[in-house]
Amino acid sequence: MQPTLEQLRERYGARYKWLVLITVMIGTMASILASTIVNVAVPDLSRHFTLGQERAQWVSAGFMLAMTLSMLTTPWLLLRFGLRRTYSGAILLLLFGGIVGGFSLNYPMLLSMRVVEGLAAGILQPIPAIVILRAFEPHEQGRAMGVFGFGVVLAPALGPSVGGFLVELFGWRSIFFVVVPFCLLVLFMVRRLLAVNSPMIGDPRPLDWKGLVLAACGIIMLLNGLVHLHDDGLHAVALLLAGIAVIASFVVYQLRTEDGLMNMQLFRYRQFAMGALVAFIYGAGLFGSTYLLPVYMQMALHYAPSQAGLVLLPAGIVLAVTIILAGKLADRFPPNILVSIGLALLALSFGMMAAGSRNTGYIALMGIAIIGRIGLGFVLPALSLGAMRGVPFGMIAQGSSIINFVRQLGGAIGVSLVGIVLEWRLAVHQVASVAQEGERVQAFNETFLLVAILCAAAVLAAWRMRPAAEQAPEPA
């Protein structure tokens, strides 16, 4: 017989909530690892399945799109099935996608398993923040978010290095199997630590399928429109306008329906509305720069792939330390101040990249990356806390899901936008030969400047994320 919540709290005492946090943290780490590790295998996959660059990119894009959409279903799943069954189901889905993906016989099978993994990752990612905001006292939430953030940043920091090692030794199939031991460990921990009676506050409601379809269609149109800006301007504009119209219809529908995917009442709280805006811009800048930096290192500065990966290793270590310290600070200082400081450091880092040249040394690039990661460490623990403090307890699951959704949507748009701007600037500078290397670097610098401007703009919104204790929940 499985223990109840009361029995588990009696057995483990005050450390029980920390054990639950570690359980959900490991599962989220596995989902993030699945997201990042496959990128190093794209060339190998392209050769194995004879794919062009556009089809190969969908191995990553399909995962990101599925993850973005499934985030919206997490609150409904938690209310309908509870924490234990929702979390176990998502882990089993991730495990299935990893095992079957590793044995893929053709490209459609591979792509479908990436979508399955993305669906699982989207369900998993909002859950730790929900657990922290519901199980921890306000003075402990910053430290808990810091511990969670420390674990989460290890996955993208180690993923590419581990992935490259596995691909070289065992081939692309091995990267799918990496999630298997994580998933098995989490399933064991879930059985021991998550109670069968872990209900979420609120009554189960029907899933808003109409809203989900509208969101999916709108996002797919927007992303496809951005992709086609490269080759067919008229078709791209038509897709973008259609996508904007569908997204607008989704918002109107959510305002009018009673049990929608998004509780639009959350945006009546200024700190939440500003937090969502920060999350979107921050996601666009962060994911866009994550794509841009390795390309810059290899295409413009002609470093080897291993050197391009190594430049971020010290920054990853600094980030892991910073995020714990920033988590403790989030319990003592207003989150809007910490987020603003972090975004300012990110903008400074990208601005320094924009001012670089072919003579910029390798150590200098490491230093610039470290400045950016320190900024990232300040943002991560404080953003969710700043957006969610003051939000009614029963809306926490919805709020956490929305913040993750808009950040991921910003990231998907940011990657496409950075790629478009880079190609445009390369065309403007007419880079076609080795003799024009200076022009190539200039094109990258102008693209980095765009990312710096995005982060600087987010500071303005972050400053308006007032602490809940100082602000009544009134409309923005």
- pLDDT tens, position by position, 152-161: 666 666 666 6
Check residues 56 and 251 and name the one with the higher pLDDT: 251
The answer on pLDDT for 50 being more than 80 is no
The answer on pLDDT for 2 being more than 70 is no
Of the candidates 17, 354, 326, the one whose C-alpha atom is nearest the C-alpha of residue 198 is: 17
How confident is the model over 368-414, as pLDDT tens digits? 989 988 988 888 778 877 787 777 877 777 787 788 788 888 877 88
Residue for token pair 């420390």: 150
The answer on pLDDT for 469 being more than 60 is no
Work out the pLDDT band at 432, boundaries 50, 70, 90.
low
How confident is the model over 220-249, as pLDDT tens digits? 888 788 777 766 778 888 999 999 999 999
The answer on pLDDT for 53 being more than 70 is no
Distance from C-alpha of 444 to C-alpha of 299, rounded to nearest angstrom: 10
How confident is the model over 133-151, as pLDDT tens digits? 777 777 777 778 777 777 6
Residue for token pair 């992709």: 227
Work out the pLDDT band at 258, boundaries 50, 70, 90.
confident
